[in-house]
Amino acid sequence: MEERLESVEICELTPQSNEVGGSYHMEKEGLKRCLDLLDSNGLVVDYIVTDRHPQIQKYLRERSITHFYDVWHFEKGLSKKLEKVAQNTDCGVLKKWLRSIKSHVYWSATSSTSGPEKVAKWMSMVNHIQNVHLHENPLFPKCQHPDRVSRDPSKWFQPGSMALYKVEKILVNKRVVKDVEKLSHHYQTSSLEAFHSLILRFTPKNVVFPFMGMLCRLYLAAMHYNENADCEQATTSAGQPVFKVVFPKSRKGEVTARPVKTDPTYKYVEELMRLVFEEVFEDPTPFVEVLKLIPIPKDLASEHERPSKEEVVARHLSRFAQGTVGTVHTRHPDQETAGVSGVQRTTGLPP
């Protein structure tokens, strides 16, 4: 169903918020820099698969680049809306269809070759949940499953019911249908998400790195990913594939089997060591010159005036300093004792 990301070709640190006027614009600026780098090297982008970020959509339209949406991100947003509706007392039948609707999202995208075909298959879901399997759209006139009599008639949505009205309102929403047409039928972003997860191993969020340190660690993560992206599934001594039973949070505790990959390799480390000892140590000048060409943005704290340490210490006040000597407290009227109103009490002072 999905083509995996073979390798990471471009590594670009996301610009800092002080470079682009706010964190909301960072993703767009990062994409712009990557596309500009590709253009400068004579590479033409066929299409791009991302989530449905509004700024990214507009920017790619302006650059006349074909844009597809990642199926998982779309399905996640849609499922949240359906799960919320399923909690209503009059929509209990929807709970039986949540898993099928999720699967239908993926099937509609990956089994189609054009946008109208994706929409035709997606719209058929409204008929299917009513036990109607013939459709008006010529691109998908009939459900592909074999004809059979249902053993559970109560699972079907009843025409004119409130449950059908609420579900149909979500499934055939104008924006949803428009997004279904642009779902990616080939590549997805799951491999990119795996790369982002790998980056956290090289740059943990609880450690502050300078810009150059972050950039170097990002390159290390890319080299590690490129070497191990195609790791095969581990097997037992008898040749059976190895799986691990997990309870992912995204499935709300539902058990699933996850393939176990073979151990990663680190051949890129040997190549780096060879480069350092045989080339960098011998003549570091060309490497230093390249480093000097990398623009390093200012720290976020550089925008603010740095006062002296003594001034900061003088202004320091602990949140737990209440009730110290000389502090005046006024008791709230609701907490007063009988016959006493608005009494001010001073702690730590002699009577």
| Same domain? 148 vs 194 | no
Residues 260-269 have a mean pLDDT of 94
| Same domain? 28 vs 38 | yes
Provide the pLDDT for residue 300: 75
Provide the pLDDT for residue 264: 93
pLDDT at 41 over 70: yes
Pick the more confident residue, 306 or 345. Answer: 306
| Same domain? 75 vs 126 | yes
| Same domain? 195 vs 62 | yes
Residues 75-102 have a mean pLDDT of 93
Q: How far apart are CA 256 and CA 236, in angstroms?
A: 20
| Same domain? 208 vs 198 | yes
Do 72 and 188 form a contact (C-beta atoms < 8 A)?
Answer: yes
| Same domain? 115 vs 170 | yes
Give me the domain span that covers residue 125: 71-181
- Beta strands of 142-197 (E only): which ranges? none
Structural element, H or E, at residue 286: helix 285-292
Q: For residue 312, is it within any domain?
A: no
Among the listed residues 213, 194, 195, 212, the one whose alpha carbon sits nearest the alpha carbon of residue 203 = 213
Angle of helix 190-202 relative to helix 211-228, nearest 10 degrees, comes to 130
pLDDT at 183 over 50: yes
Do 164 and 92 form a contact (C-beta atoms < 8 A)?
Answer: no
Tell me the pLDDT band of 13, cut-offs 50, 70 and 90: confident
Count of domains for the chain: 2
Copy the structure tokens of residue 3: 């083509």
Lowest mean pLDDT: which of 119-123, 236-240, 305-309?
A: 305-309
Lowest mean pLDDT: which of 94-108, 132-146, 191-205, 332-346?
A: 332-346
| Same domain? 193 vs 62 | yes
| Same domain? 169 vs 191 | no
| Same domain? 52 vs 198 | yes
pLDDT at 120 over 50: yes
Q: For residue 265, is it within any domain?
A: no
Max mean pLDDT range (176-180, 195-199, 340-344): 176-180
Q: For residue 171, is it within any domain?
A: yes
| Same domain? 121 vs 47 | no
Pick the more confident residue, 150 or 50. Answer: 50
Phi-psi region of 64 (alpha: psi -120 to 50; beta: other; left: phi over 0): left
Q: For residue 224, is it within any domain?
A: yes
Provide the pLDDT for residue 27: 87
Taking residue 190's Cβ as centre, other Cβ atoms within 10 Å add up to: 14
Classify 33 as helix, strand or coil. Answer: helix
How many residues are present in the chain? 351
Residues 234-256 have a mean pLDDT of 86
Q: For residue 298, is it within any domain?
A: no
The single-letter DSSP state of residue 245 is E
The last residue of one of the domains, among 228, 258, 287, is 228
| Same domain? 75 vs 63 | no
Q: What is the dihedral of CA 58, 60, 66, 68, to 10 degrees?
A: -60
Pick the more confident residue, 116 or 330. Answer: 116
Task: Determine whether 329 is exposed, middle or buried from the number of CB atoms within 10 Å of its CB (0-12, 13-18, 19+).
Answer: exposed
Provide the pLDDT for residue 334: 52
pLDDT at 5 over 60: no
Pick the more confident residue, 2 or 320. Answer: 320
| Same domain? 137 vs 8 | no
Q: For residue 344, is it within any domain?
A: no
Provide the pLDDT for residue 337: 47
3-class secondary structure per residue, 1-28: CCECCCCCCCCCCCCCHHHHCCHHHHHH
Q: What is the pTM of this model?
A: 0.76
Provide the pLDDT for residue 314: 86
The last residue of one of the domains, among 228, 252, 287, is 228
Provide the pLDDT for residue 322: 56
Q: For residue 293, is it within any domain?
A: no
